[in-house]
Amino acid sequence: MFKPIKPFFTLLLMVSLAAKVSAQEDLPVYLNEAKPIEERIEDALSRMTLEEKVKMVHAQSKFSSAGVPRLGIPENWMTDGPHGIRAEVFWDEWDQAGWTNDSCIAFPALTCLAATWNKEMSALYGKVIGEEARYRNKNVLLGPGVNIYRTPLNGRNFEYMGEDPFLASRMVVPYIQGVQSNGVAACVKHFALNNQETDRHTVNVNVDDRTLYEIYLPAFKAAVQEGKAWAIMGAYNKYKGQWAGQNQFLLNDILRGEWKFDGVVVSDWGGINDTKQAIYHGLDMEFGSWTNGLSEGASNAYDNYYLANPFLKLLKSGEVKEEEVDKKVRNILRLVFRTNMNTKRPYGSFGSPEHGLAGKKIAQEGIVLLKNANNKLPIQLSKVKRVAVIGENAVKVMTVGGGSSSLKAKYEISPLEGLRNRIGKEAELVFARGYVGEKPKAQDGLNTGDVVETRSSEELSKEALDAARNADFVIFVGGLNKNDGQDSEGNDRKSLGLPYNQDKLISALAKVNKNLAVVIISGNAVAMPWVNEVSSIVQGWYLGSEAGSALASVLVGDVNPSGKLPFTFPVKLEDNGAHKLGDYPGKGEQTYNEGLFVGYRWADKHQIKPLFSFGHGLSYTSFAYGKASADGRDLNADGKITFSVPVKNTGKREGQEVVQLYIHDVQSSVPRPLKELKAFEKVSLKAGETKIVKFTIDKSALSFFDAGKHDWVAEPGEFKALIGASSTDIRQTVGFNLR
Ligand code: BGC
């Protein structure tokens, strides 16, 4: 038999590998992926003309900036973000371009993701949304958003991760890593202090350094240093009198100086206002300066951007050194090499059933059971024959609207549809709208799906009450929506209350049927004057494509709810620091007089009982916390301490509990919040099962930011670890000392 086949193939392989290596070596350095990225950047830069460099630092269309075609360096393409991949728009306009292959999977809003308190859900979210972006050939995803929830009126809270810097920090990191594993940059926004929509383009935020570093910056810092985000977006508002996107303090001193950020700083769309500041204060790419592409220029408005011809002129005259544009182009080239010039990045996928399922899983884990008196939920289908579903939000399209996060979703299962699919065969389902919101508006050229209502509110209410009276179980699906002035970009809400007279209807429903579950669809806390009148309340967020199926699965108990609130629900607006002190929304200036005392920190300080606390969320089973202990009495300055607590599922079904650890500083030289979240773990427990939950911390969990020293300080002394099921449901306390 002829044998030398193996050596022959080995030889062939060696020859082809050698050819590959030599082909790589023949490549210019910037194209050679085997070379260190910094060498490639310098090589590419050395080949570029001044004009080519300037072209890279500003937009060429609504969502793209130029590459260098001569050198094979591709354009950069951005996409919103953060809940799904935005539909294609025209080159120069916000209007949709009418493509037929750009319908995405809409994922749950980031408030829902934060409410999962599950880092694995965050990683999954990042991975799948990154795959969608990659498939659509976008190399920058404009998200996630991590602005802190300061006031429940902020119209954009639904795009963020809640009120606590630690929770937001832990949840943002895996999202970024997931996105970037696709060779797509996560662009973390809006850096920084964009905590209200009112006057967002002009407001100057005044905040003391300690509050800035302890509350408003940690999630961004974690995004940069742990998530290794490749891009960040400067906010619209001002800080220290300079717009955040062209801000010496935020961008040069903190982001690049202290945190050593090596990615690109992208402006928010239209957030740039001055060429010199845009040149010198850390910005790399200017976008959206004039929304209509042509009206501000003779032939091309983009040439008139602050970082376009005005910049080129200054460079040519020598008034600005070429090094200034080089700094920006280096960052952009780094972005390009990390993303669309990485030949090994995966190809992504779009609108797939797997992505739909991922969205459903995240939605199911984020839904929060706020109240469940007499265990009215889950609905017992063996006993319930007729279900009345009431409320406009049971049928309202929620993926459209809300501003830049608006989506053209491949599909969206409404709560009514989800319930029909799940229980339609077992029970009779009756729907009544009950109330009506604003007249439907087409957004982005997309119909919001609303049916125009011709009946009066009395007629609607009567129909709903009749349906409720004759049902065995009533599900009210209401809350806010994505209209302007509610959960929507550009404006804040006007009040904490529910719109469209829903309070009155809910109270009336509670009178005619005791088996009432209220589902609130919102990205914000709402007032609930009827809280004691209804048996069950569910926080249903904006859940995306699989909204209805996820909600139905929780309502009937296929899924045991395990979400916990990522922000406080105050009883009334004045229970929130920014409102109590009357600072919000400010007049040109917005001073954060409540300082560190945001959310539960304020409620703790002033002993205000929230309607529902930060970290609160119930389950269809129950959990008992055993005695907590520490592995020592003392924590050394450079050491660690581990706390353990046995948690038992004492109910009859499997469930997940989010065990939370807060730190209380017994004695401090500065005022400190009564407690601060410093660790959490979501554990899954079968009925009767016990697991030991362990938390390891070091002195960073005990530190405060000393503004005088401009550094973090942990003062030796006594501390307490408070372990519990929410910020107001502490079950175990363990004392220890920092030495
Ligand atoms: C928003 C950003 C968004 C951008 C592009 C701006 O108005 O503030 O979050 O990414 O538009 O759509």
Averaged pLDDT, 40-60: 98
Task: Measure the CA–CA gap between 39 and 260, rounded to whole angstroms.
Answer: 19
What are the strands, taking DSSP E only, across 17-152?
A: 64-65, 76-80, 140-142
Averaged pLDDT, 271-299: 83
Task: Report residue 195's pLDDT band, with 50, 70 and 90 as the boundaries.
Answer: very high
Averaged pLDDT, 386-410: 96
Ligand 1 center from residue 641 Cα (angstroms): 42
Share of the chain above pLDDT 70, in %: 94
Mutate to test the pocket of ligand 1, among 80, 86, 267 (most ligand atoms within 8 A of CB): 80
Task: Report residue 4's pLDDT band, with 50, 70 and 90 as the boundaries.
Answer: very low
The position carrying tokens 């040439």 is 303
First to last CA, the chain: 78
Residue 449 confidence (pLDDT) above 90? no
Task: Measure the CA–CA gap between 120 and 383, rounded to whole angstroms.
Answer: 36
Residue 466 confidence (pLDDT) above 50? yes
Residue 425 confidence (pLDDT) above 70? yes
Residue positions annotated with a catalytic role: 268
Task: Report residue 300's pLDDT band, with 50, 70 and 90 as the boundaries.
Answer: confident
Q: Which residues line ligand 1 (CB under 6 A)?
A: 80-81, 142, 189, 268-269, 404
Mutate to test the pocket of ligand 1, among 404, 406, 484 (most ligand atoms within 8 A of CB): 404
The atom number, within ligand 1, closest to the CA of 143 reads 10
pLDDT, tens digit, 9 for 90 and up, residues 6-25: 555 555 545 555 556 566 67
User: If you take atom 6 of ligand 1, which residue's CA is the nearest one?
Assistant: 269
Ligand 1 center from residue 490 Cα (angstroms): 10
Ligand 1 center from residue 21 Cα (angstroms): 44
Instruction: Specify the DSSP element, H or E, that contains 206.
Output: strand 204-206
Residue 685 confidence (pLDDT) above 50? yes
- DSSP code per residue over 6-55: HHHHHHHHHHHHHHHHHHHHHS-GGG-TTS-HHHHHHHHHHT--HHHHHH
Question: Cα–Cα distances in Å, from 721 out to 168, 527, 627, 641, 702?
Answer: 20, 32, 13, 11, 10
The atom number, within ligand 1, closest to the CA of 490 reads 7
Return the pLDDT at 26. 86
Ligand 1 center from residue 402 Cα (angstroms): 11
Task: Measure the CA–CA gap between 310 and 198, rounded to whole angstroms.
Answer: 31
User: If you take atom 11 of ligand 1, which residue's CA is the nearest one?
Assistant: 269
Ligand 1 center from residue 61 Cα (angstroms): 14
Mutate to test the pocket of ligand 1, among 78, 191, 196, 269 (most ligand atoms within 8 A of CB): 269
User: If you take atom 4 of ligand 1, which residue's CA is the nearest one?
Assistant: 269
Return the pLDDT at 290. 73
The atom number, within ligand 1, closest to the CA of 404 reads 12
The atom number, within ligand 1, closest to the CA of 142 reads 10
Ligand 1 center from residue 404 Cα (angstroms): 5
Instruction: Specify the DSSP element, H or E, that contains 634.
Output: strand 634-635
The atom number, within ligand 1, closest to the CA of 200 reads 8
User: If you take atom 3 of ligand 1, which residue's CA is the nearest one?
Assistant: 404
Averaged pLDDT, 35-44: 98
Averaged pLDDT, 292-305: 70
Amino acid identity, position 558:
D
pTM over cut 0.75: yes
Averaged pLDDT, 189-201: 97
Residue 490 confidence (pLDDT) above 80? yes
Return the pLDDT at 3. 47
Ligand 1 center from residue 623 Cα (angstroms): 42
Mutate to test the pocket of ligand 1, among 83, 94, 268, 491 (most ligand atoms within 8 A of CB): 268
Task: Report residue 182's pLDDT band, with 50, 70 and 90 as the boundaries.
Answer: very high
